[in-house]
Chains A and B, each alone.
Chain A
Amino acid sequence: MNFKLDDEQQMLQDSVRRFVDKDYSFEYRSTLLKARSGGSLARWQVFAQNGWLAAALPEAEGGLGGGIVDTALIAQEFGRGLVVEPYLGCAVLAAQTLVAGGTPKQRAALLPALADGARKVALAYSEAGSRGFPEWVSCGAESVGDGYVLNGMKTLVLGGVEADAFIVSTRMAGSGDGPDGISLFLVEAGTGGLSRQPLPLHDGTWAAEVTFDGVRVGADSLLGEPGQGLAALRHGLAHGTAALCAELVGAMEKAVEITSEYLKVREQFGVPIGSFQALQHRMADMAAELELARSMLFHLLASVTNDDAQTLVRTVSQAKALIGRAARFVCGQAIQLHGGIGMTEEYAVGHYYKRAVVADALFGRADQHEAACAAELQATLIQTEGQA
């Protein structure tokens, strides 16, 4: 284990940070938000040209052959700049699900186009009743003729407004409600019966509610093997959660930096407010929370690198809960230490808090992840303690 960036990693971090500092100012981002566009196509092409979309994809399929650490480095810098383009939804979540779930032929057909930015795919897995957890699927797939018919609805599909295709999780008719019953399909956005409603989110990003009403697809649109979709979803979600957590660490970093600068220039009672101990100690607590969150992110990256599937599911939950809470605390306190100015639309810190609020809703909320960990303990601990 080594916490220092090597030369290539340092170059990657520097290049994304330079882009964010130079070409993604808070003012520029504000114009994107006003346009209600969900981001800029031109910027997406910049991501592609710089290799950021390809960074963690396999070399054989148009990628650069990097891994989860590269994803985390990019996402962290995007978090500092509150980048609104659907990097998380398309370049990480959907792309990694495809990496894990697609047949070699499907991967070869699609991944190069994701890597060079020619196409965008979104992952449609969450449903109104599943709250971000991949196991609960009511969207159905029925074998009809030499293809399938899909029916159901998916919520909060990240990148779903821009995507030209969707990976959809379904339960195949007759496959029961166990973990083996989930099948993934790749569905072109223009397929008849598929409709989407754009959802504006608090932080200026967009998601889609996607409805499948008798959508007919060919047999070759089944992703991987029937009934084997959950493992691919979990792989995609592990990478997606790591990216989101890294983004939040970046967001916290920046919120802390902005706030500490403000404390030095804002004067009340004739002195900089940073001279007050109550505010100094709050800053210290924010910094400690940030570093604990960063440590948890590293724990997750280590788990992605080393652990078996079951352990990784637990680590994903732990990280999502702990880092999500930390981000709301740190960004909320950033508003508090600013006073009134922190409440305004035209000042940055409030937008970091909004990102933290949206992040909690993505991929399952903190409470539910902790409850999942607790349930797992209840199911397994009596056994392990019995053996001890």
Chain B
Amino acid sequence: MDFQPDAGLDAFRQEVRAFLRANLPPSLAGKPRGSVRSLRAEIEPWQRVLNEKEWGAPYWEKEHGGTGWGVLQQLVFDEECVAAGAPTQDGFAQKLLGPVLNAFASPEQKAEHMPHIFNGTRLWCQGFSEPGSGSDLASLRTRADRDGDHYVINGQKIWTSYAHDADWIFLLVRTDQEVKKQAGISFLLVDMKTPGITVRPIRSIDDCHHLNETFFDNVHVPVANRVGAEGDGWKITKFLLNNEHASAADLPILKRYLMQIRQLATRQGVCGATLLARHEFALRLARFEAEVAAIGMMVKRVAAMEQDHSPAAHAMGSMLKIRGTELQQRMSEFLVEALGDYGAVAYPEPHASTGVPPLPLQDVGRGVANEMFFRRASTIYGGTSEVQRGIIAKALFQL
């Protein structure tokens, strides 16, 4: 055990920073980026820039055309991109589907999809949850029945983020009704333009549209679009969900919140002084700084475990998710509080057109409350905090 600074990692951070300075077009930079995926018009050109640098797949092994970066380097890359306000990539393709295709897809499937992922020309969404299958995902009922060399899909998915703007969906379906629930699941890739698919928007409390319900009514999908063998869906899902423990806390966002709070601290006034001069404010900011420091070190520990393929990464990742997401909620709430009276104002959401005339303090306050409301979902998606606690109790204590 030693705590010497990692010179290689510091040099890498400088490299990423320099790259962003030189290559992030001003038209794509400095967007007040919360947690929501960027727009297609932003993702595609940015993905092209990254791809030219051969950074088109930051999280993948070299043999699959990725950067081959270690988990800690990936985190540095994420942090610097968020700090620079760069557009997001397509997280579904990069972090969830990509590793699955690398590990399980046929050469034909890779040839079909990989170029589009590298070029940002095919956006993905995820069809996992159903109205009756949330935490108990394996109980899903959307069925795929064989009809020659096609599956016929009938059922409904929910919480399909960005389905309204996605070209393809990766989908869990039940291909066998007879066997144990986990054993009857398969993993399909489906073109969203296939007849029979209907996407209906769900407006969420953050006043944004990213959630949807997606309906499948006799949707014909080639059997060749199945990843892995029939019935492998659950195995693939566990692989997919096991992939990103270290990013569960979303440390780059926590750091961004700290930066925002620091800015408000010195620029907002209360009763004739800066917000920072208020002891109750400074005290809470000091606590947040300490907590982010602790979470930051916990992220490094989980990243090191992941890099070593340590089984301990699993429970530790769950702990990190619980504590990190809870901190996301408290910090995003604090940002709204820091706006004082204007924290109550419902500004136009970040992607909506600006009202004329703009509301007071709109340049500062816009998006802040949306982010807070969005973060109520952090402790729900990717396994609720309660599911995580169950995982921890079982893994660590065999309870």
Q: How far is the CA of A5 from the CA of B1 in the complex (A)?
A: 5
Nearest Cβ on chain A to B90's Cβ, whole angstroms: 31
Q: Given that A1-B3, A69-B1, A296-B293 are contacting pairs, would A281 and B393 also be in contact in the complex, using a CB cutoff of 8 Å?
A: yes
Secondary structure of the B side of the interface? helix
Nearest Cβ on chain A to B294's Cβ, whole angstroms: 4
**Residue B271 CB within 8 A of the other chain:** no
**Residue A301 CB within 8 A of the other chain:** yes
Stretch at the interface among A136-144, A154-162, A189-197, A378-386: A378-386
B323 contact set on A, CB distance < 8 A: 288, 292
Return the CB mask of A1-39 against B: 1 if under 8 Å, else 0: 111111001000000000000000000000000000000
A296 contact set on B, CB distance < 8 A: 290, 293-294, 297
The contact of B265 among A5, A285, A299, A381, by CB within 8 Å, is A381
A277 contact set on B, CB distance < 8 A: 390
Among residues 292 to 325 in chain A, which have CB atoms less than 8 Å away from a CB atom of chain B? 292-293, 295-296, 298-299, 301-302, 304-306, 315, 318-319, 321-322
**Residue A260 CB within 8 A of the other chain:** yes
Return the CB mask of A365-378 against B: 1 if under 8 Å, else 0: 00000110111111
Interface residues on B, range: 35 or more
**A318-B293 in contact (CB<8A):** yes
A374 contact set on B, CB distance < 8 A: 279, 282-283, 285-286
Counting chain A CB atoms within 10 Å of each CB, the highest count among B267, B293, B300, B396 belongs to B293
**B3-A305 in contact (CB<8A):** yes
**Residue B337 CB within 8 A of the other chain:** no
A-B contact count (CB 8 A): 154
**Residue B298 CB within 8 A of the other chain:** yes
Q: Given that A299-B294, A370-B286, A378-B282 are contacting pairs, would A284 and B300 also be in contact in the complex, using a CB cutoff of 8 Å?
A: no
**Residue B291 CB within 8 A of the other chain:** yes
**Residue A287 CB within 8 A of the other chain:** yes
A6 contact set on B, CB distance < 8 A: 1
A381 contact set on B, CB distance < 8 A: 262, 265-266, 276
B300 contact set on A, CB distance < 8 A: 1, 3
The contact of B2 among A2, A283, A370, A377, by CB within 8 Å, is A2
**B393-A283 in contact (CB<8A):** yes
The contact of B3 among A284, A298, A322, A385, by CB within 8 Å, is A298
- 21 CB-based A-B contacts, threshold 8 Å: A3-B1, A260-B399, A274-B399, A283-B393, A284-B388, A284-B390, A284-B393, A285-B389, A287-B319, A288-B323, A292-B298, A299-B293, A302-B3, A305-B2, A318-B289, A322-B290, A370-B283, A374-B285, A377-B265, A385-B262, A385-B265
Residues of chain B touching chain A, judged by Cβ–Cβ distance below 8 Å, are 1-6, 262-263, 265-267, 274, 276-277, 279, 282-283, 285-287, 289-291, 293-298, 300-301, 304, 315-316, 318-319, 322-323, 386, 388-390, 392-394, 396-399
Task: A283-B392, A284-B390 are known; give 8 further A-B pairs, CB within 8 A.
Answer: A3-B304, A291-B298, A293-B294, A296-B290, A315-B293, A318-B289, A377-B265, A382-B276
Residues of chain A touching chain B, judged by Cβ–Cβ distance below 8 Å, are 1-6, 9, 69, 260, 263-264, 274-275, 277, 279-281, 283-285, 287-288, 291-293, 295-296, 298-299, 301-302, 304-306, 315, 318-319, 321-322, 370-371, 373-378, 381-382, 385-386, 388
